[in-house]
A = this chain, B = another copy of it.
C-alpha cells in the first residue's frame, strides 16, 4: 500500500466517523502530538473543566459543608450511571470509590471469606502486577495458595483453559477482562460459567475494557469486578476507581476495611459496626468528591456517544492499525502481539520489537507519537475511539516506519537494566 492511498483511506474513514464530534469535547492541542496512550491516561474532557469550576467555586467555596447533602450519594449515583451505560449493571451494584487496588483488595478479601474451606486463588501469571501482588498478599496473610497460570499471552484465558485449572478447592478466580499486554478480550460469560460450575467466585479487573468494550456484568453472571477511570473514562490522573458486586451476593459479603461510610445510620456515630444493607457497605472513608465529579463527566460523555458506537470505531481503528502494520512494519522487525480477530481484542494494538524501548523513546522525542513501552520489548498503541482519528493512526504508523527505516531510534539511550 502506498502512503497516499492509506492517507486517503484514513481520511474517508474520518469523514464517515459517526462519533467524530466527540473529539471536540476534549482538550486537544492543535499542535500536539499524536496520542496513542489513552489506554494509560485518557484525555481531558472540556466539560470537566466547567464541572470542576462548579464543584469548587459554587459547591465547596460557596455551599461549604452544606454541600455534603448533594455529595454524599455521589459514589452510588455515579456508580449507577456507570453501571447503566458502560457495565451492563442494574442499579445498586456499582460504587465509585478508592483506587482499583484497594477495591480489588476489598472484593477479593470478601470473596475468600465467602468461600471458607477452599484454599486456592487462581489468576493469570500475565495479569496486571497490582492484581497479582494483592492476591499474593491475601494468600500469604491467610495461608492460601495462589496459583498463577500461564495462559497464552496473545489470546488470553479461554473458558476451556480456565476449566482445566479450577477445582473444588478454588475459592476465587481473578482475571482481567482485557489483557494489559496484548489487549486480548476474555469471554466473560463463558469463564463465569466454568468458574461457577466449580463453585468459585470470579473477580474481574475491568481497567482495560471499561469505556472501550461493551460490558455486560449482569447478564454474563459476573460476581465481582473493579476497574479504573483514568484510562478510557477520561477522569484524570489517579481518579477514583469503581467496584461492582452482584446484588444477590452483597448481603453475604463483608469487606475488611470497616469504616464510617459503610455504617448503618452513619451520623448516629454509634458503637458497634453494623454495615448498611446494600453495596454501601463497601465504602470505608469519605468519598473523594472532586474525583468522583470527574468520573461523572467521563461517563456522561461516553453515554452520550453510546458504547456500541465507541466499540465500532475502536475496532475500525485497531483494524486499520493492524493492516498498516502488516503492510509497513512487519518487515522492519515488528510482530503483532494482539489478537487478529477483532471480536477477541480490546482497544489497543501491541507490537513486539527487539528495540521497542528505543523505538518508543524516539517516537515521543522525534516522531511526536506517544505510545507506551512495556518491558521487555513491547510497544502498546492505544486507540481511544473518542479522541483518536483514523488520520492519526495512519500518520503514526507512517512515522514509526520512517523512524525505524532511518535507524534514528538507535540514537536513543538503551533501555536501562532496571526500567524506571
Contact = CB atoms under 8 A, between A and B. Distances in A.
B60 A260 contact: no
Contacts of A239: 288, 290
A240 interface: yes
Interface string A284-314: 1111111110100000000000000000000
Interface in A90-119: 98-102, 105
Contact of A43 (B35, B64, B286, B291): B64
- Size category of the A interface is 35 or more
A135 B33 CA distance: 50
B64 A57 contact: no
Contact of A290 (B236, B241, B266, B285): B236
A56 interface: yes
A272 B41 contact: no
A43 B59 CA distance: 11
A420 interface: yes
A58 B9 CA distance: 33
A418 B265 contact: yes
B43 A49 contact: no
A268 to B, nearest CB: 5
B60 A49 contact: no
A56 B136 contact: no
Interface in A227-242: 228, 230, 236-241
Contact of A256 (B141, B260, B269): B141
Contact of A375 (B269, B285, B374): B269
B41 A268 contact: no
Nearest to A27: B61
A286 B270 CA distance: 33
A161 B97 CA distance: 38
Contacts of A285: 98-102, 130, 238, 241
Q: Which of A64, A136, A271, A294 has the most CB of B within 10 A?
A: A64
Nearest to A294: B290
Contact of A137 (B258, B270, B419): B258
A44 interface: yes
A354 interface: no
B101 A102 contact: no
Given A284-B99, A419-B267, A273 B133 contact: yes
Contacts of A134: 257-259, 284
Interface stretch (A14-22, A65-73, A190-198): A65-73
Interface string A382-398: 00000000000000000
A329 to B, nearest CB: 22
Contacts of A237: 60, 67-68, 71, 286, 288-290
Contacts of A375: 267-269
A263 B133 contact: yes
A27 B259 contact: no
A375 to B, nearest CB: 6
A77 interface: no
Given A130-B259, A237-B290, A65 B41 contact: yes
14 contacts: A43-B64, A49-B57, A66-B370, A101-B261, A128-B260, A128-B269, A129-B270, A133-B262, A134-B284, A137-B257, A237-B290, A238-B292, A269-B374, A269-B375
Interface of A: 27, 29, 32-33, 35, 37, 40-41, 43-44, 48-49, 52, 56-57, 60-62, 64-68, 71, 98-102, 105, 125, 128-130, 132-134, 136-137, 141, 148, 228, 230, 236-241, 256-263, 265-273, 284-292, 294, 364, 370, 372, 374-375, 418-420
Nearest 6 interchain pairs by C-beta = A99-B285, A101-B285, A137-B258, A27-B61, A101-B259, A237-B289
Given A136-B258, A237-B288, A238-B286, 11 more contacts: A27-B57, A33-B64, A41-B60, A44-B56, A102-B259, A105-B256, A130-B260, A133-B260, A137-B273, A238-B285, A240-B288
